[in-house]
Amino acid sequence: MAEPIRVALAGATGRTGREVGRAIVAAPDMVLVAALARSHAGEHLGALWGDEAVDLTVVDTVGEAATQYPTVMVDFTEPDSAYPRLLDAVDRGWSIVVGTTGFSREQRSELARRTAAHGVAAALIANFSVGAWLSERLAEEAARFFPDVEVLEAHHATKRDRPSGTALRMASLLAAATRRDPDAIPVHSMRLPGLVAHQTVVFGAAGQVLTIRHDVHDRSAYAAGVLAAIRRLPSLGGRFVENLGDLMPTAKEPAP
């Protein structure tokens, strides 16, 4: 039997991090060996999650996590703290699975360069929900026939980046499909209490409107995509992946 994948999770006490962390703990082929969260360093993760069976002490740095020998770092935090942490993880030879958004083009290029240099893999995915990935595929097909399109995205009030990484990626895909500059695709953003993550792509044509809508009502929606990425990374040494479809199981493989 293969050894379980050893995972370190940055942002383990955040709302998305908790859901992703619980999924990692429940996965039979993974083990959560380190949890990072600066504001809760030194505290018991199980107590923070309300699950005393999770016996980990939260740490602050990659160096502290390294004592538990992870092979994959999962990060759901914010870009300013995540970027140096991810570079540190890659330099240690760990693969990275990143749901954090808001990185600059230069930062993404440097992460890609480092992963290639160290022969590890990186998955920087704007949205790990399978529904968001399928929405992209549907929108790319629709754009072939409906070039007039706008994107509306809405998130919880505390989300920092605006527009979201998911919306920017959708605009880029639509621009490529319609042979336009990404800035030519209008993107409208809302940040309100009561929302989680919602995106609508609206295509207009003479006498008709086509709408592709995806709603995340619970952050557990991201878990399946994250688990798929963790499992796929060992076979992607040196690759830098931004499309969830490159990480999903094939027809001959079990679903995540």
Q: Where are the domains of the chain?
A: 5-124+220-246, 130-217
Alpha-carbon dihedral 142, 122, 125, 45, rounded to 10 degrees: 160
At residue 102, the pLDDT reads 87
CA atoms of 139 and 133, how far apart (whole Å): 10
CB 238, CB 116: distance < 8 Å: yes
pLDDT in tens, 104-163: 999 999 999 999 999 999 999 989 999 999 999 999 999 999 999 999 999 999 888 899
C-alpha 32: how far from chain center: 18
Q: Is the peptide bond before 28 cis (omega within 30 degrees of 0)?
A: no
Burial class (CB in 10 A: 0-12, 13-18, 19+), 211: exposed
Residue 44 annotated as catalytic: no
Ordered alpha helix ranges (H), the chain: 15-26, 45-49, 62-66, 79-91, 105-118, 130-143, 165-178, 223-232
Q: Which of 44, 156, 159, 214 is catalytic?
A: 159
5-124+220-246 carries CATH number 3.40.50.720: yes
Q: What residues have CB less than 8 Å from 130, skipping those under 6 apart?
A: 221, 224, 225, 244, 248
| Residue 112 to residue 127: CA distance in whole angstroms | 19
What is the topology classification, in CATH, of domain 130-217?
A: Dihydrodipicolinate Reductase; domain 2 (3.30.360)
Q: Cα dist. 6→24, 95, 175, 235 in Å?
A: 10, 11, 39, 15
Residue range 110-120, pLDDT digits in tens? 999 999 999 99
Q: How confident is the model at residue 250 (pLDDT cuts 50, 70, 90)?
A: low
Whether 159 is a known active-site residue: answer: yes
Q: What is the pLDDT of residue 31?
A: 97
Catalytic residue among 40, 44, 118, 155: 155
Report, as an integer, the average pLDDT of 197-201.
Answer: 96
pLDDT of residue 251: 44
pTM of this structure: 0.86
